[in-house]
Amino acid sequence: MLGEMVFECKGKWTGTRVLKDGKCEVTIESQGQFLGEPFGQLLTAEIDVSPDGLTGYEEFRGFFDTREGSHGQFSGYQHVVRNPDGTTFGKGVCFFISPPGKYEGLNKKVVIIESETDVERNVHQRGW
């Protein structure tokens, strides 16, 4: 057991671009539950795909806000594997920066994350 679920959300890639160094940058917008509260997030990820084309390393950062008005930032890393059917699966870590208030306790924790992306670029993310 990884512990308490911090967030679960679903969303979609809303932007993609290839960078000069050959990496790929994606933007993802998603909504879900953050410690039991409805929330939304916007993140940008920079993906460095290995020469085999099947694995990659992703560095991301973004913002979140809850319906009740709390907000914060996050950043993290994950290892991504591309499946033969075009879907991807990633596992990694996430770090939060929250202002004083309801979520500031996350500032001292590492959140373990999993993400899945289907062939239509729909994303499902979870963190514990």
Average pLDDT, the chain: 94
Closest listed residue to residue 54, CA positions, set 83, 17, 79? 83
Task: Please check whether residue 12 is in contact with residue 30, taking contact to mean a CB–CB distance below 8 angstroms.
Answer: yes
Q: Which domain holds residue 28?
A: 7-127
Give the model's pLDDT for residue 102: 87
Contact 50, 25 (CB under 8 A): no
pLDDT (tens digit, 9 = 90+) per residue, 30-77? 999 999 999 999 999 999 989 888 999 999 999 999 998 899 999 999
Encode pLDDT of 11-23 as tens digits: 999 999 999 998 9
pLDDT at 74: 97
- Whether this prediction's pTM lies above 0.95 is answered by no
Closest CA to 98 of 113, 85, 108, 112: 108
Query: Which tops the pLDDT comparison, 2 or 96?
Result: 96
Task: Kindly state whether residue 1 falls inside one of the protein's structural domains.
Answer: no
Task: Specify if 47 maps to a domain.
Answer: yes
2 domain-assigned:
no
CATH classification at residue 73: 2.40.160.20
Domain-located, residue 122: yes
Domain count for the chain = 1
What is the CB neighbour count within 10 angstroms for residue 63?
14
Per-residue b or e along 77-112, where b marks 16 or more CB atoms closer than 10 Å to that residue's CB: ebebebeeeeebebebebbbebeeeebeebeeeebb
> Under DSSP, is residue 90 helix (H, G, I), strand (E, B) or coil?
strand
